[in-house]
């Protein structure tokens, strides 16, 4: 309402967020767990005088740096980019409320990147003690970075006492912060094992024994079993931490995962089933029979892991609906506190970036503006979360009835806020959308054309 | 649409978490840090490309550069394997190859720190100017989002450069890719950073199209501003190149001298060209800014003059003292960052002043941040000190990530 809404046809802004965020999460947790894996395994190799294992850790660290430092860091910035484009109001709130938390996270990020470089380039240069110390610094900084971001992320679903006090501490140390931190740490450990299975399955240079030049199969099996152990330990924590987390989320959010919204329920079930599948494959495959593990098995596990990350993050985002910040801001950026004012004065009067200020002879244009401001942030016309298929066969009175009770009939949708005239115009417009064939133009493009003409006529004066 | 409409988003109801002067200070300070690393990435690419062209091995003739500097036998100290030469001169490296190699090693690290140091100023920009920045970003949403993809590709290209042997076709192609990608990123940044300063364009552009495909290319001062950044980055890269042989060990003394002199020459030439670009940029500035800097407000006019004076001083002295020249350049960079901030303030003055935003101080958390920042910098300094003072890597150990 406060910022312009970006129209992303077919894909929808929320899908863009999901794609970038899921890929980032899948790598960022590895950045944390993988850091522990590296320094832990390195220390173990020194302790036991295991030179072959050390060769593997070095090779793994190369993969780690290329994936984490580049893709992990850039995709993290990417999330910031896309949320600011799709939900500028929510991004602004997160930045204003938590700017010093972000700044602290930035310090950890800075230390993390510097430590990663020194660790990676320091294999030959640094003595073992210092190298291990740098490895631990890396892991500590990475985990602390997770600690900070986790606090801000969980705030969005369970802002807790922040709603009253608006203080950073109340928002950060919110009801789900600790359970979520345990989950994410466990996921980080599991993903460390998952990615290690991938590098262990590749018979790279590390696998060749320098003395004989031949492949060291025993080493590969050892590393495979060891990596599988990491995955299983991390996964073992998840059911308990998950149950703890679910017990702390708002009732309405929990309801969505157990039937309140079919798609959310299916995805939540998928998350559990895919996780179980990963554990079973890892247990009976790489852990019990490491000799059978190969690139294919590891790749299947990685794809399944990405799948679990995807559906779980999607569910975590979905259960927050109808809010983007629970009980404070709706998914479309309208503040809970502004509801009464908007309902009274109308959305066209209170929204900033609209060209049509009232419903009069321009009903279609006005309705298109209402749709843009209130619905576009989640819905496309045709495409991801499209309205057209949902509206098929719905009459105007029925749509109008739905709009009046949107938040009651569909708990995951924000209420429609606006005047009766705006709502009726939207109902007529939506009914027309539903009647038209897929991919046809919205009922009126006249508004946009008129605006363009006006722009040409006036020519912006510098 | 009725006449010229200016729509400005409301300030965030949460308020600012610290005094405006402190946030502005942090914004400018962290931007200077970003400017340094970003310039090395932006300017390092073209220098790498040029050095690779001079050291090319893929041309038919096999000539790898001027004869005068070719053929001093040396082995690579790290990063790539020196292939046995087909001639009887043994493994050899031209000065251009040494230069390319030196830059190639710097690029991935500089990219990482350009990103890391870039996060902070963007955070403070969103905090202070979010009302304008989010809007201009939405207006150019697709090009702006493309920055993420371009950055990802450019970063990997810079790792590819790191792992490539200078003079090969692969190295040259990766360099060309890196130059294009990072120039495009800079271009998009210049677009958004100038578009956000033009609130009078926002409503007409948005109401014409909400597809997020606008840019600020029609704005006359965007182009010289972009050029100013590009040329400036070459100057900073020149300085960094001049420092490399002094800091890193294992350079052939002749090559080290050549690389050092090249860096200084590049710095001087680019800075002088920067003056010409700067003048063009100045005259392309929107009217109110020009008026202010032409003496409407004495401190602002002095700022511009001081920036130019320090840059000139740096050019005059850099041959005698690289250290003094570099210090003068850093002062000039910081000064120019302040000027850039003033341009923003002057342009936005009629519409928006950050000083009017409500402030709800979060003093305790700020202190925690400041303490952690000091601790973090201490830890990073310790790690780098340990790394630099440690014995260099064994020569035969390839450390390039392939």
A136 touches chain B (CB under 8 A): no
Judged against a pLDDT cut of 80, whether residue B395 lies above it is answered with no
Report the residue from A95, A352, A451 with minimal CB separation from B208.
A451
pLDDT tens per residue, range B104-153 = 999 999 999 999 999 999 999 999 999 999 999 999 999 999 999 999 99
CA B167, CA B154: separation in Å to the nearest integer? 19
CB contacts, 8 Å: A85 with chain B: 137-138, 141, 144-145, 212
Report the residue from B127, B208, B211 with minimal CB separation from A99.
B127
A368 touches chain B (CB under 8 A): no
Q: Is A91 close to B391, i.e. CB distance below 8 A? A: no
Judged against a pLDDT cut of 80, whether residue A448 lies above it is answered with no
What is this model's ipTM? 0.92
- Alpha-helix residue ranges (DSSP H) falling in A208-291: 217-248, 251-255, 262-282
Q: Is A84 close to B116, i.e. CB distance below 8 A? A: no
How far apart, in Å, are the Cα atoms of B92 and each of A126, A141, A286, B14? 29, 43, 48, 63
Q: H-helix or E-strand containing B72?
A: strand B72-73
Query: Which of the four pLDDT bands, split at 50, 70 and 90, describes residue B167?
Result: confident
Report the residue from B14, B116, B151 with minimal CB separation from A93.
B14
Report the residue from B141, B159, B201 with minimal CB separation from A85.
B141
What is the DSSP code string of B213-225?
---STTSTTHHHH
Judged against a pLDDT cut of 70, whether residue B19 lies above it is answered with yes
Report the residue from A65, A71, A355 with minimal CB separation from B401.
A65
pLDDT tens per residue, range A178-214 = 999 999 999 999 999 999 999 999 888 888 888 888 8
The DSSP code for B92 is E
Say what the pLDDT of residue A361 is.
85
How far apart, in Å, are the Cα atoms of A375 and each of A131, A277, A379, A414, A417? 53, 37, 6, 9, 11
With 0-12 CB in 10 A as exposed, 13-18 as middle and 19+ as buried, what is B162? buried
- Alpha-helix residue ranges (DSSP H) falling in A346-404: 347-350, 363-374, 388-391, 396-404
How many other CB atoms are found less than 10 A from the CB of residue A306?
17
How many other CB atoms are found less than 10 A from the CB of residue B176?
17
Query: Which of the four pLDDT bands, split at 50, 70 and 90, describes residue B348?
Result: very high
CB contacts, 8 Å: A171 with chain B: none
pLDDT tens per residue, range B350-389 = 998 888 889 998 899 999 999 999 999 999 999 999 998 8
CB contacts, 8 Å: A84 with chain B: 126, 134, 137
> Left if phi > 0, otherwise alpha if psi is -120 to 50, otherwise beta: which for A385?
left
Q: Is A115 close to B383, i.e. CB distance below 8 A? A: yes
CA A257, CA B36: separation in Å to the nearest integer? 49
Which sign, positive or negative, has the C-alpha torsion A80, A84, A88, A92? positive
A335 touches chain B (CB under 8 A): yes
Report the residue from A3, A100, A353 with minimal CB separation from B369.
A100
The structure's pTM equals 0.91
Do A415 and A354 touch, CB atoms closer than 8 A?
no
Strand partners, B197: none
Judged against a pLDDT cut of 70, whether residue B62 lies above it is answered with no
**Residue of chain B with shortest Cα separation from A460:** B201
With 0-12 CB in 10 A as exposed, 13-18 as middle and 19+ as buried, what is A340? exposed
For B:112-141, CB contacts with A below 8 A are: 112-113, 115-117, 119-120, 122-123, 126-127, 130, 134-135, 137-139, 141
For B:90-109, CB contacts with A below 8 A are: 109
Judged against a pLDDT cut of 80, whether residue B74 lies above it is answered with no
Say what the pLDDT of residue B80 is.
39
The DSSP code for A108 is H
Q: Is B155 close to A103, i.e. CB distance below 8 A? A: no
Q: Is B1 close to A103, i.e. CB distance below 8 A? A: no
Closest chain B C-alpha to A239 CA, distance in angstroms: 34
Q: What is the mean pLDDT of chain A?
A: 92
A137 touches chain B (CB under 8 A): yes
Do A61 and A120 touch, CB atoms closer than 8 A?
yes
Q: Which one, of B55, B54, B42, lies nearest residue B180 by Cα?
A: B42
CA A298, CA A282: separation in Å to the nearest integer? 9
pLDDT tens per residue, range A41-67 = 999 999 999 999 999 999 999 999 999
Tell me the average pLDDT across B47-56. 90
pLDDT tens per residue, range B308-344 = 999 999 999 999 999 999 999 999 999 999 999 999 9
CB contacts, 8 Å: A81 with chain B: 144-145, 147-148
Greater confidence, B22 or A260?
A: B22
Do B304 and B2 touch, CB atoms closer than 8 A?
no
* Neighbouring C-alpha atoms within 13 Å toward the C-beta of B238: 26
CA B143 to chain centre: 20
Say what the pLDDT of residue B87 is.
37
CB contacts, 8 Å: A7 with chain B: 210-212
Q: Interior CA angle at A40 toward A219 and A221, to 5°?
A: 15
Judged against a pLDDT cut of 50, whether residue A20 lies above it is answered with yes
Q: What is the mean pLDDT of chain B?
A: 87
Say what the pLDDT of residue B392 is.
64
The C-alpha torsion from A113 through A117 and A123 to A127, rounded to 10°, is: -70
The contacts of residue A237 (CB under 8 Å, 6+ apart) are: A182, A183, A186, A189
A97 touches chain B (CB under 8 A): yes
Say what the pLDDT of residue B91 is.
40
B55: tokens are 């050291």
Q: Is B134 close to A126, i.e. CB distance below 8 A? A: no
A200 touches chain B (CB under 8 A): no
For B:369-388, CB contacts with A below 8 A are: 369, 372-373, 376, 379-380, 383-384, 386-387
Say what the pLDDT of residue A155 is.
97
Closest chain B C-alpha to A381 CA, distance in angstroms: 14
CB contacts, 8 Å: B248 with chain A: none
Closest chain B C-alpha to A86 CA, distance in angstroms: 8
Bond preceding residue A322 cis, omega within 30 of 0: yes
């Amino acid at each position: 309402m406060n910022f312009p809404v970006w129209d992303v046809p077919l894909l929808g802004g929320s899908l863009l967020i999901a794609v970038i965020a899921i890929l980032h999460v899948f790598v960022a947790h590895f950045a944390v767990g993988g850091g522990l894996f590296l320094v832990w395994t390195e220390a173990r190799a020194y302790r036991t005088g295991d030179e072959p294992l050390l060769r593997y850790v070095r090779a793994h660290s190369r993969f780690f740096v290329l994936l984490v430092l580049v893709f992990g860091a850039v995709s993290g910035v990417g999330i910031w980019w896309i949320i600011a484009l799709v939900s500028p109001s929510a991004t602004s709130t997160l930045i204003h409320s938590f700017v010093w938390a972000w700044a602290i996270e930035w310090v950890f990020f800075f230390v993390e990147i510097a430590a990663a470089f020194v660790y990676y380039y320091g294999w030959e240069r640094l003595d073992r003690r210092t190298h291990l110390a740098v490895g631990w610094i890396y892991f500590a900084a990475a985990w602390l970075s997770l600690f900070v971001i986790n606090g801000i992320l969980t705030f969005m679903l369970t802002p807790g006492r922040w709603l009253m006090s608006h203080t950073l501490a109340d928002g950060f140390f919110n009801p789900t912060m600790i359970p979520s931190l345990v989950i994410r740490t466990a996921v980080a450990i599991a993903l460390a094992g998952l990615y290690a299975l991938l590098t262990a399955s590749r018979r790279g240079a590390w696998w060749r024994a320098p003395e004989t030049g031949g492949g060291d199969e025993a080493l590969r099996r050892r590393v495979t079993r060891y990596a599988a152990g990491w995955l299983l330990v991390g996964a073992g924590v998840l059911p308990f931490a998950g149950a703890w987390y679910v017990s702390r989320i708002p009732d309405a959010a929990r309801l969505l995962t157990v039937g309140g919204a079919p798609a959310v329920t299916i995805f939540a079930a998928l998350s559990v089933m895919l996780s179980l599948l990963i554990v079973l494959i890892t247990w009976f495959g790489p852990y019990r029979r490491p000799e059978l593990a190969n690139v294919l098995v590891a790749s299947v596990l990685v794809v399944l892991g990405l799948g679990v990350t995807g559906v779980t993050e999607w569910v975590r985002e979905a259960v927050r609906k109808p809010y983007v910040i629970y009980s404070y801001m709706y998914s479309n950026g309208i503040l809970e506190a502004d509801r009464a004012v908007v309902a009274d004065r109308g959305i066209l009067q209170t929204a900033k970036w609209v060209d049509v200020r009232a419903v009069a002879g321009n009903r279609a244009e006005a309705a298109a503006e209402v749709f843009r401001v209130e619905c576009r942030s989640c819905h496309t016309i045709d495409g991801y979360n499209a309205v057209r298929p949902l509206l098929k066969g719905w009459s105007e009175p029925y749509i109008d009835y739905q709009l009046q009770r949107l938040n009651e009939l569909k708990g995951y949708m924000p209420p429609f806020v606006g005047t009766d005239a705006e709502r009726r115009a939207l109902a007529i417009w939506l009914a027309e959308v539903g009647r038209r064939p897929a991919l046809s133009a919205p009922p009126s493009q006249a508004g946009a054309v008129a605006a363009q003409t006006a722009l040409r006529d006036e020519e912006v004066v510098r | 649409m009725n006449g010229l409409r200016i729509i400005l988003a409301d300030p965030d109801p949460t308020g600012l978490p610290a005094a405006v002067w402190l946030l502005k200070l942090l914004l400018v300070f962290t931007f200077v840090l970003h400017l340094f690393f970003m310039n090395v990435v932006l300017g390092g690419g073209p220098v790498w490309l040029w050095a690779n062209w001079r050291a090319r091995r893929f041309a038919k003739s096999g000539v790898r550069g001027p004869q005068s500097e070719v053929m001093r036998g040396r082995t690579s100290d790290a990063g790539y394997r020196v292939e046995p030469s087909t001639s009887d001169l043994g493994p050899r490296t031209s000065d251009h190859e040494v230069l390319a190699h030196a830059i190639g090693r710097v690029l991935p690290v500089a990219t990482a720190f350009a990103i890391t140091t870039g996060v902070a100023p963007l955070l403070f920009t969103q905090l202070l100017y979010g009302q304008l920045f989010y809007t201009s970003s939405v207006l150019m949403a697709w090009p702006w989002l493309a920055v993420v993809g371009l950055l990802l590709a450019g970063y990997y290209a810079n790792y590819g450069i790191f792992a490539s042997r200078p003079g090969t076709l692969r190295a040259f192609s990766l360099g060309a890719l890196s130059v294009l990608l990072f120039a495009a990123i800079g271009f998009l940044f210049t677009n958004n950073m100038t578009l956000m300063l033009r609130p009078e364009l926002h409503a007409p552009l948005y109401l014409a199209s909400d597809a997020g495909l606008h840019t600020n290319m029609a704005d006359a001062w965007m182009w010289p501003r972009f050029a100013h950044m590009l040329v400036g980055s070459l100057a900073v890269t020149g300085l960094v190149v001049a420092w490399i042989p002094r800091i890193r060990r294992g350079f052939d003394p002749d090559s080290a001298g050549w690389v050092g002199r090249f860096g200084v020459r590049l710095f001087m030439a680019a800075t002088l060209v920067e003056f010409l670009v700067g003048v063009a940029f100045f005259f392309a500035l929107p009217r109110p800014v020009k008026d202010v800097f032409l003496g409407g407000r004495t401190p602002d006019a002095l700022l511009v003059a001081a920036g130019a004076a320090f840059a000139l001083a740096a050019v005059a002295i850099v041959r005698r003292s690289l250290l003094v020249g570099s210090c003068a350049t850093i002062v000039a960079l910081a000064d120019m960052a302040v000027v850039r901030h003033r341009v923003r303030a002057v342009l936005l003055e009629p519409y928006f002043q950050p000083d009017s935003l409500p402030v709800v101080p979060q003093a305790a958390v700020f202190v925690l941040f400041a303490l952690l920042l000091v601790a973090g910098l201490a830890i990073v300094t310790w790690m780098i000190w340990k790394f630099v003072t440690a014995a260099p890597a064994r020569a035969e150990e390839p450390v390039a990530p392939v």
